[in-house]
Structures are given as structure tokens and as C-alpha cells.
């Protein structure tokens, strides 16, 4: 698949902005696997994950003008597009309905957060990295990063002060970095 | 908070992973611009995340690429068609055109008024310039075209060697005109006085108004008539002048 050409990030972005199909092909070849992994960490179901992956590539193609290199690397941007799409998906009514059939009635979202039916540690990527974190940290990252709850929502659901939620998430992520090293 | 503390606070990781508020985003972006080490830390974490994600990539079936590519390309095409075919954009085009023409009209009106005013001002300046030129021409003609006109070039004396002035004397009408080529501006409590000299005796021919040195509106100053003269001279006198010269002589010249 890979034709052996290697684009710099700048070149790739410029070509995508000119709607170059070969640049899209290159983007897909190089990043579809990694982005699939990012989505899969949030949506374990393969079929749904692939639907979201398609949505993500369509969005990247459509919205490449919005990418601002001064704010971060291309992959970071794509990763956030993927994460947002995945979270939108699990928040959607359709997805919630299909989930309900599988699990016991959990009495709505609030309970779902409170009861944190947590890791099932999926053995991939960030999730695996998470496994090394302290329990209290792991829960917070799971809720904020993988389930997309805001700090306020988490603070309310877990009864932890907002400031503490924020500090703990930050130090968890900071630990994450040193752990990976 | 210094850059190192900022880096170790974990906010950069939060930012990269999309867990910061819009306000915090603005803050992180400002810090990255201000501190190279903060920017370095951001990029380092981004690279780490990318590397980690690459290692944990999930290979997808080859058929998926065609499906996704098709969906993306269809999306580009759909956008183009929407612009070409839909009638809704046409209405908005009219709106834009209408709005644009109102703005253009307003701008043009403003421009017209500005130009009109400028034009009027130029016209005024022009006619006053013409009047001035006419006046000067008349003054020059009076000297040049008059065969009875005599001239006395008055050179600078010891008091002011670089001074110079010219008297034009119409021997028929006895009119005296003074051209001040170069005289220092007088102190406010003094005035220059022009004298005609006849057999060594000075005759008062009039004062040079001090405001002449301020405005310099006229080329030639009309002085008192001189019935007879052999030479002319200018002295600096008290304001209003003296019956006989008391001050220093600035210029003098024979006819």
C-alpha cells in the first residue's frame, strides 16, 4: 500500500488542504490503524468503531482547514477529532439504547458514573498505560478521557471537589508521561 | 508560576489530550509562545502519544479503505454540487450583493462629499493664488514697463553688511516703491525708516510696517512720494520713526 513516499507533516497538510486524493490515501495508510486504536479504546465494538473511523476520516478531509499547526501536531488534532467522535457516539441515544439491552438497568447516566463499571482494562494503547496508574487516578482518567465527562460532572458524580478532580487528572497525566518513558 | 512548574503541573498533557477548557487552552497556547521549554514539553508529549498510538495501531481490513475513501470523496463532491445547484445560495447572493451595494453607495457618497470639499478648497486656493500672481505681475509691470522708473540698489552698511534693498522711483509721478531683498526682522519696539537723500540731507519717505516681516504679503511697498532724490537709505529707528535719522543705517544706494 505504502508507495514509499514520505511527506512531512507540513506537506501533508498543504496537500490535504488542496484536496489531493493521494494525500488522503497516504493519510489513511499511515494513520487509520492508530486512530482505530484510539476509537477502540472508547468503543470496543468493532463495527461501531469502524463507523466512527469512517466519520473521523470524512471529518478530517472536510475540516482540514481548521487544523492549526501552531496549536499542535497533526496527529494530536486527528486524535482529538477521533476521541470527540467516539464520545459523541457513546453519548448518542442509539448507542445508549443498544447498550441497555446488554447490561442491567443502571438507572441512568448519573448512576453509571457513580457506579463506574470500570476497566475491564482493555489491553490496548492508552488503556494499557492506564493500568499502571493508581486506582483513584485511573477512574478519573477513564471518566474524563475515555467517557468524555467534564470535570464538573465528575466532581458532582463522585462527590470530589472540582479543584481536586482537576489536580488529580493533571498529576495522573503527568505520571503517565513518566511511566511511558 | 515558572515554566518548569508549569510543565510539571500536568496541564500540558491535559491540553494535548483535549481535557482543558477553552480558557485553559488560550493560556497554554500563550505559554507555548512565551516559553520555548513549554513548547518543547508539549511537542515531546505529543510525539510520545503519537508513538504510543502507532505501536497500538489496529490494522483494518483492506476493503475499509475503499469504503472510507469513497465516503470522503463523495463528501467533497456533495459540497461542490450543493453550491452549484441549490437555489438557497442564490438568494443569499442577492442579499450579499444588495448589502454590498448599499455599503458601496454609502462609501461613494462619503467619497464624493470629501472630493467635493477638497475640490472647493483647491478652487479657493487657486483663485487666491491667481489673485496674488496678478498682483505681483502688476507690481513687476509697474517697474519694468515704466520708462520713467529709476532704481537705487541699496547695499548693506557696516551695521548689517548682508542686507540689501531696492528703491524704485517714478521720476514723473514721484511715487516711491521699496523692494526689501534682505533685511533682518526688526525688534518689536523699533521700525525701519526710508530716507531720500538730497545734497546730504535726509528726507523722510516713510516707515516699513513691522508686520511686513511676518507676513511678507507684498513684493513692493508703496512709500511716500519723493519730489527729488540723489540717493536712498534705510535706518532702524524707534517705533513711528524720527524726523531726522538717529538710528543705525542698514542700507544705502545712489540712483
List all residues 6 or more positions away from B208 whose beta carbon is below 8 Å from its beta carbon: B178, B180, B183, B191, B192, B193, B194, B221, B234
Surface of A (11-70) touching B: CB under 8 A: 19, 21, 24-25, 28-29, 32-38, 40, 50, 53-54, 57-58, 61-62, 70
Q: Using a CB–CB cutoff of 8 Å, tell me whether A126 touches chain B.
A: yes
Q: What is the DSSP-derived secondary structure letter of residue A70?
A: G
- Measured between beta carbons, which residues in chain B are less than 8 angstroms from residue A129? 52
CATH 1.10.1740.10 for domain A9-91, yes or no, is yes
From CA B60, how far away is CA A32, in angstroms rounded? Answer: 8
Residue reference for cell 478530517: A60
What are the domain boundaries of chain A? 9-91, 119-180
CATH number of this structure's domain A119-180, picked from the four choices 3.40.50.300, 3.90.1150.10, 1.10.10.10, 1.10.730.10 = 1.10.10.10
Is residue B11 within 8 Å of A167, Cβ to Cβ?
A: no
Q: Do B17 and A173 touch (CB under 8 A)?
A: yes
User: How many Cβ atoms sit within 10 Å of the Cβ of residue A163?
Assistant: 10
Residue A100: its pLDDT value, please?
59
Q: Which of B14, B54, B67 sits opposite A34 (nearest CB)?
A: B54
Q: Do A169 and B53 touch (CB under 8 A)?
A: no
Please give chain A's pLDDT, 181 residues, in tens: 445 678 888 999 999 999 999 999 999 999 999 999 999 989 989 999 999 999 999 999 999 999 999 999 999 999 999 999 999 999 887 777 776 554 434 433 433 444 444 444 445 566 666 777 788 888 898 899 988 999 999 999 989 999 999 999 998 888 877 766 5
Q: Do B50 and A176 touch (CB under 8 A)?
A: no
Q: Which of A71, A125, A144 sits opposite B53 (nearest CB)?
A: A125
Amino acid at each position: 500500500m505504502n508507495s514509499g513516499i514520505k511527506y512531512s507533516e507540513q506537506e501533508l497538510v498543504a496537500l490535504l488542504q488542496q484536496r489531493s486524493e493521494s494525500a488522503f490515501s497516504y493519510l489513511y495508510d499511515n494513520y487509520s490503524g492508530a486512530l482505530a486504536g484510539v476509537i477502540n479504546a472508547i468503543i470496543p465494538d468493532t463495527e461501531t468503531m469502524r463507523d466512527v473511523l469512517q466519520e473521523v476520516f470524512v471529518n478530517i478531509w472536510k475540516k482540514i482547514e481548521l487544523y492549526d499547526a501552531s496549536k499542535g501536531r497533526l496527529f494530536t488534532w486527528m486524535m482529538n477529532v477521533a476521541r470527540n467522535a467516539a464520545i459523541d457516539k457513546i453519548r448518542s441515544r442509539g448507542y445508549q439504547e443498544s447498550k441497555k439491552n446488554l447490561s442491567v438497568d443502571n438507572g441512568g447516566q448519573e448512576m453509571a458514573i457513580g457506579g463506574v463499571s470500570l476497566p475491564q482494562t482493555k489491553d490496548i494503547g492508552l488503556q494499557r498505560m492506564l493500568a499502571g496508574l493508581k486506582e483513584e487516578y485511573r477512574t478519573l482518567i477513564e471518566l474524563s478521557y475515555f467517557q468524555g465527562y467534564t470535570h464538573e460532572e465528575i466532581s458532582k458524580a463522585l462527590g470530589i471537589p472540582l479543584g481536586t478532580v482537576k489536580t488529580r487528572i493533571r498529576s495522573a497525566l503527568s505520571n503517565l508521561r513518566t511511566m511511558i518513558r | 508560576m515558572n515554566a518548569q512548574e508549569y510543565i510539571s503541573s500536568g496541564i500540558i498533557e491535559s491540553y494535548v489530550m483535549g481535557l482543558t477548557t477553552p480558557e485553559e487552552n488560550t493560556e497554554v497556547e500563550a505559554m507555548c509562545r512565551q516559553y520555548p521549554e513549554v513548547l518543547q514539553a508539549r511537542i515531546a508529549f505529543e510525539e510520545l502519544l503519537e508513538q504510543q498510538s502507532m505501536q497500538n495501531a489496529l490494522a483494518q481490513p483492506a476493503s475499509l479503505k475503499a469504503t472510507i475513501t469513497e465516503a470522503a470523496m463523495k463528501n467533497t463532491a456533495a459540497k461542490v454540487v450543493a453550491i452549484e445547484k441549490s437555489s438557497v445560495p442564490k438568494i443569499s447572493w442577492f442579499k450579499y450583493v444588495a448589502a454590498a451595494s448599499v455599503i458601496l453607495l454609502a462609501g461613494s457618497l462619503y467619497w464624493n462629499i470629501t472630493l467635493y470639499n477638497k475640490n472647493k478648497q483647491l478652487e479657493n486656493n487657486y483663485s487666491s493664488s491667481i489673485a496674488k500672481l496678478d498682483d505681483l505681475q502688476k507690481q513687476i509691470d509697474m517697474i519694468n514697463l515704466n520708462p520713467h522708473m529709476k532704481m537705487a540698489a541699496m547695499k548693506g552698511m557696516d551695521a548689517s553688511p548682508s542686507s540689501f534693498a531696492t528703491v524704485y522711483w517714478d521720476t514723473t509721478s514721484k511715487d516711491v516703491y521699496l523692494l526689501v531683498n534682505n533685511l533682518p526682522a526688526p525688534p518689536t519696539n523699533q521700525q525701519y525708516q526710508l530716507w531720500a537723500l538730497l545734497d546730504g540731507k535726509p528726507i523722510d519717505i516713510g516707515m516699513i510696517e513691522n508686520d511686513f516681516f511676518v507676513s511678507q504679503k507684498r513684493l513692493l511697498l508703496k512709500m511716500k512720494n519723493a519730489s527729488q532724490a540723489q540717493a536712498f537709505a534705510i535706518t532702524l529707528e524707534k517705533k513711528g520713526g524720527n524726523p531726522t535719522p538717529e538710528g543705525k543705517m542698514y542700507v544705502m544706494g545712489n540712483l
